[in-house]
Amino acid sequence: MSFHASILTLYPDMFPGSLGQSLAGRALERGDWTYETVAIRDFGEGKHANVDDTPAGGGAGMVLRADVLGQAIDAASPSDDARPRLLMSPRGKPLTQNRVREFAAGEGVLIVCGRFEGVDQRVIDARNLEEVSIGDYILSGGEVAATVLLDAIVRLLPGVMGNDVSGTHESFENDLLEHPHYTRPAVWEGHAIPEVLTSGNHKKIAEWQREQSETLTQARRPDLIAKRQKTLDKD
């Protein structure tokens, strides 16, 4: 069975969007993954199919209704659905490559894309939604965040990157950022490719890349180095 994503959104036309192109798009064509959009509007209340209302206690903006969202979730995901139910949310745990790998190893995901001020807390609690953030900034809606999440997952699905081993050396594997890359021409605007890379000495090249990774991570992401040290200390 291939990985299946159910995406609950007020804007179904935003999908597949960029997921229909390139690596993810070819994987979609091959059936390495499938998706459906569930239009939250279809579950709206009354003649005007209302999906949102003013926040209890006052304040700015609108909130997605618990009853409407609850019905949309239940329609897309029966109670025996083993897939994690996610809510894209700036209040969520920041997404990591580790969590992406866990999602990619599963059967799929259900993703709720928020809009307005967010969603009624009761539906988050009652439907056990895991809040996932893609970073410390505010987007206008969860659709772009869901696209980011799915892009990261899909490239890890079996067969999607083919025999390409590049996935195993990338940034965040071993909590290190990746070393710099070079290609032709050998000299560009007076700048040559670092000599070691053209030496043909694979051991030296691997050492150089490792050093570069560590220096770069130390300079840009000392938090990753600290995390790695903690893991090493535990072993």
Residues forming the site for ligand SAH (CB under 6 A): 88-91, 113-115, 117-118, 133-135, 137-139, 141-142, 145
**Residue sitting closest to ligand SAH (CB):** 114
> Considering the complex, what minimum distance in angstroms separates the CB of residue 121 from ligand SAH?
12
Helix axes 142-154, 22-30, angle to 10 degrees: 70
Choice between 137 and 203, CB closer to ligand SAH: 137
Query: Least separation, in Å, of the C-beta of 94 and ligand SAH?
Result: 9
When the beta carbons of 43 and 176 are compared against ligand SAH, the nearer one is: 43
Q: What is the number of other CB atoms lying within 10 angstroms of the CB of residue 152? A: 19
Q: Which is nearer to ligand SAH, 98 or 201 (CB)?
A: 98
d(CA 114, CA 94): 16
Instruction: Quickly count: other Cβ atoms within 10 Å of residue 55's Cβ.
Output: 15
The dihedrals phi and psi of 177, each to the nearest 5 degrees, come to -80, 155
State which residue, 27 or 148, has the beta carbon closest to ligand SAH.
Answer: 148
Residue 33 Cα distances to 14, 27, 54, 78, 116, angstroms = 18, 6, 37, 20, 30
